[in-house]
Amino acid sequence: MLQCRQILQGRYQLQEKLRNSRSKQTWLAVDCTQPTTLVIVKLLFFSDVTEWEELKLFERQAQVLKEISHPQIPQYRDAFWLEARSPAYVLVQEYIPGVSLQQWHQQRLSESQIRQIAAQVLYILAYLHELHPPVIHRDIKPSNLIWGDDEKVYLVDFGAVQNCDALGATFTVVGTCGYTPLEQFGGKAVPASDLYALGATLIHLLTGTPPAELPQHNLHFQFAELVNCSPALFSWLQKITEPAPEKRFTSARQALAALESGIVINTAAVVNNSGTGGLFDASISVPEEIQNWNWGAFLLAPFWLVSNRVWIGLLSWFPIFGFWMAIALGAKGNEWAWKSRRWQSIEHFQQHQKRWAIAGIVSGIAVNLVFWHLGMLFLVSIFL
């Protein structure tokens, strides 16, 4: 194992162990070629428990840091293999004197402090996201933001960074619960994923409560009663932490412009007008998220109509109308079901329809073939 005062690569003398885990260590060290210069030395040790993904992420971190340059991101210094009893891959970075924002978790920051932190991090994200290809940090949280002695905010720990040529492709799932948006847990991080993580971090710093411990409603953080801030900042935080990435700011620069404008953003949630009836009343709005084909209604029309209370679907029980009613329910089923029954939320509605779609794919084709066959026999019997 490594010891204090040990020199690596004939250059970096270890001073203090800052972090230690199963296969990783982080040290504060001195660059012996510049005795007054402190650096951060990160090591990934190889053993039977080291996973291949860990090595890929560690190497990617070194590669990305080597290629980027921003005054509020610790500079890349060196990377090498350490041949020893416990071989390791080593990354050396610039040391930033300061404190992690995680150390402020027991105090609530003021609105002016939150705005200052937000603006600085957004400048950093604008730089990263506008690179070609874009760089996505994927793990923004209080412990990865350093408040420097120079009163600037620094973004550190690029261990989960994604440098991709095609946004939206599937990558390794990384992140921290509470700060990571759903799409990232699905393996598809986009620049808006970093914006969500920043928003969750700022809510933590503003409320003093980790986002994973905050109450939620339809996946939205409920923190109004825990803060005393301007309506403009509150609405901005709501916008940047929207569960759906397409409803967040489109870029870090747009988020920064909105923050600096001081304008209250309209973040009113979609009104739950389900169960109002009026299947053919075009004046009753239906959420855009559900306006698509309903496979459950199409494939299991005679049964789907009962749980969704779309009674016009009873026509599907009559062989002569069965096929045409199934098509109508497939096309209009979501709209009619939304209007016919009261739903807790859009998410509740979508989960219900998803279960019907699975059931329809598994067994609905056979069921409909029987009904449609009976319909054809009925028609034949009429004309013969």
Q: Supply the residues annotated as catalytic.
A: 139
Q: If you count them, how many residues does the chain have?
A: 384
CB 232 within 8 A of CB 238: no
Give the integer Cα–Cα distance in Å for 218 and 134. Answer: 30
φ, ψ of residue 286 to 5 degrees: the values are: -125, 135
The terminus-to-terminus CA distance of the chain in angstroms comes to 91
Block residue for tokens 């619960």: 177
363 DSSP assignment = I
The beta strand positions in the chain, using DSSP E, are 7-8, 12-20, 24-31, 38-45, 76-82, 88-94, 98-100, 135-136, 145-148, 153-155, 162-163, 216-217, 220-221
Give the integer Cα–Cα distance in Å for 163 and 132. Answer: 9
Strand partners, 13: 7, 30
Give the integer Cα–Cα distance in Å for 92 and 87. Answer: 16
Give the integer Cα–Cα distance in Å for 57 and 42. Answer: 13
Q: Which amino acid is at 334?
A: N
Is 214 exposed, middle or buried (CB count within 10 Å of its CB: 0-12, 13-18, 19+)? Answer: middle
Nearest to 304 by CA among 348, 367, 228: 367
